[in-house]
Structure 1
Amino acid sequence: MQTRTLGSTGPAVSALGLGAMGLSGEAYGATDRDESIATVHAALDAGVTLIDTGDFYAMGHNELLLAEALRGRNRDSYQLSVKFGQLRGPGPVFGAQDNRPEAVKNFLAYSLTRLGTDHVDVYRPARLDPAVPIEETVGAIQEMVDAGYVRHIGLSEVDAATIRRAHAVHPIADLQIEYSLLSRAVEAEVLPTLQELGIGMTAYGVLGRGLLSGHWSAGRTAGPGDMRGFSPRFAAENVEHNLALVESLRRVAGAKGCTVAQLAIAWVAAQGADIVPLVGARTRERLAEALPAARLELTADDLAEIEEAVPAGSARGDRYPAVFMSGLGVGN
């Protein structure tokens, strides 16, 4: 497994990271505890060092699951990236974002306990809190850096102006944001800003929540609790168009001798030397398919063919339901 450094001030991490959200709860369908833990073990054994979670994933279950899976591992052999601040209610209820300085420290204390660790490698607000200046939030995390509880500060789903304001308070290691062949809004302002300031990116949704996996079909329906049942890109009026793009990509992948998923992941990695795709594999089988993408080199001709197969802006439907789009720093 190759490594990449998150920006000019961040940690050196594996070229692919593991997005742990799908290992708990039913956000992407039913999960199996033993398989989830085995998937984390397989990722670590394959050289994956960066594991991303959120304190609100399955109401803290994800952090507890990771604590179990990581027990006995050398703490210096992996990095934990944690998002905080998303308020939840019982059931599938999402509330506002709470980035107040006192809330930052409260959330961190709970995460450290659930994860069974004395520090988090990258700590970041999950979304922007419009009621709290980003300078105050970053300042609170900086206090936790100074106290040794946090190693690096990250951001998630914010615009270029917010990145600049945050970076002026304390160096930002990386921005976590959705980036894939189907979601390319970051290319206009956000990506150039990251490159200018020396900030890395951890890209999630690199397979478009399964649309770019090569395993989704038009007649498939999402199970109970699966967020894709509410996703505009999976809606009946959009999914066939989007899957037609995947078929165009499949032809390029076939000529390259790789899978659609591997090609889609490698494309994201090819957009910058300090971009780390997060693979949301929920099983060892899907993880095993994704890992070779880290070694897949794309030529200029490959990139041109991919662009022709899936042009920027060609996806239909927003990347989130309308109720969640207003909390994003960039659109599709």
Structure 2
Amino acid sequence: MSVDMRTFLAHVELDGPVITAAGCAGTGRELAQFFDLHRLGALTTPSITMAPRAGRPTPRMAETPSGLLNAVGLQGPGIDSFLERELPWLAQRGIRTVVSIGGGTVNEYSALARRLADAPGVTAVEVNLACPNIEDRGRVFAREGAASAEVVGSVRSIMLGDVPVIAKLSPDVADIVAVATACADAGADALSMINNPLGMAIDTATLRPALAAGTGGLSGPAILPLAVRCVWQVHAALPRVPIIGMGGVLTGSDALQLILAGACAVGVGTALFHDPYACLRIERELADLLQARGFQRLADAVGVAHRPPGSPARHLHEESSL
């Protein structure tokens, strides 16, 4: 008997739990060359900004042990081009699309939300909080609960009620549970974690930083334990808030760790750079692992690691049906 892999982000049902992470699969045209995008749980766009952005100077990517540093800088054509060219392409094909947005002020996030509020084809909006707040000395919104909540609240007040708002959180904070709670209280329907932690590498040949920007976001297998820890802590505090777990997912076993920690969906990012079929493979591996461990539904495995040893399996099915 196959495992029921359906999951929910708020009230939105996804056929499968594996989605693409923002910025790692373009806006779908690239992956569509390899497989039918309907096989994804959802596709997450790069973070869309109001104006076109060229991104940061090169070099802006560098490999590290079990990871990748990047300082791309939200490169993109801006909201006008996205609404004219990219979103219609996805909507015409019926692809579940999570639109990620990024801004430098609360007003900019609000303006983006207004442009998306009545746009066809938006399954959910992911609020990328790892953006510098230009009105607060460039401190990223995600580092403070109050700043994060202000952004989330502004977007939630504008988006139509049937479009979930997802807050994307950074691990570079003193208390991720406090930030997550502030976002949930402000109206976030779900949480996405983790965004890339900051890292740095220095080229010992040139004696200079490997990235032109100096620091960059670290992704890849090296950050999986950090992602699992964050998901574990937030699910323990907010067990009814849906979580998309991401960060270093390379295999079905990696995905299962995040599910057991409390995620109901899993984002795949860096793995796509060398394996465009990674999402499909990871979901197959995850289904096989769940079946081997006696789960009939993905929903029954969410957060199981929080249960005391020896908890009867039947309790899982009873709780997930509530």
Short-chain TM bin: 0.5 to 0.7
1:105 aligns with 2:110: yes
Q: Give the AA of the match of 1:203.
A: G
Which residue is 2:97 aligned to? 79
Which residue is 2:19 aligned to? 17
Residue aligned with 2:101, SS: strand
Gaps of 5+ in 2: 50-73, 131-139, 171-175, 196-218, 294-322
Which of 2, 8, 24 aligns to 2:5? It is 2
Alignment of 1:1-332 (within 5 A): 2-6=5-9, 9-13=10-14, 14-19=16-21, 21-24=23-26, 37-40=29-32, 42=34, 44-45=36-37, 47-53=39-45, 54-56=47-49, 57-60=74-77, 64=82, 66-67=86-87, 69-70=89-90, 72-74=92-94, 77-85=95-103, 98-100=104-106, 102-109=107-114, 117=120, 119=122, 121-127=124-130, 128-129=140-141, 133-145=147-159, 148=160, 151-158=163-170, 159-178=176-195, 181-183=221-223, 184-188=225-229, 190-197=231-238, 198-207=240-249, 261=251, 263-272=253-262, 274-280=264-270, 286-296=275-285, 297-298=288-289
CA distance in 2, matches of 1:121, 1:19: 13
Gaps of 5+ in 1: 25-32, 86-97, 213-260, 303-332
Structure richer in helix, relative to its length: 1
Contact 1:206-1:277 within 8 A present in 2 as well: no
- Shift of residue 291, structure 1, vs aligned partner: 1.1
CA distance in 2, matches of 1:99, 1:281: 32
User: Which TM-score applies when normalising by structure 2?
Assistant: 0.53
Q: How many residues were matched structurally? A: 218
Identity %: 11
- Shift of residue 281, structure 1, vs aligned partner: 6.1
Residue aligned with 2:192, SS: strand
Residue aligned with 2:194, SS: strand
User: Which TM-score applies when normalising by structure 1?
Assistant: 0.52
Distance 1:156 1:293, change over 3 A: same
CA distance in 2, matches of 1:187, 1:263: 12
Higher RCO, 1 vs 2 (CA within 8 Å, ≥6 residues apart):
1
RMSD: 4.0
Contact 1:82-1:122 within 8 A present in 2 as well: yes
Contact 1:154-1:172 within 8 A present in 2 as well: yes
Contact 1:172-1:199 within 8 A present in 2 as well: yes
- Shift of residue 58, structure 1, vs aligned partner: 2.4
Contact 1:268-1:277 within 8 A present in 2 as well: no
CA distance in 2, matches of 1:292, 1:155: 27
Distance 1:194 1:61, change over 3 A: same
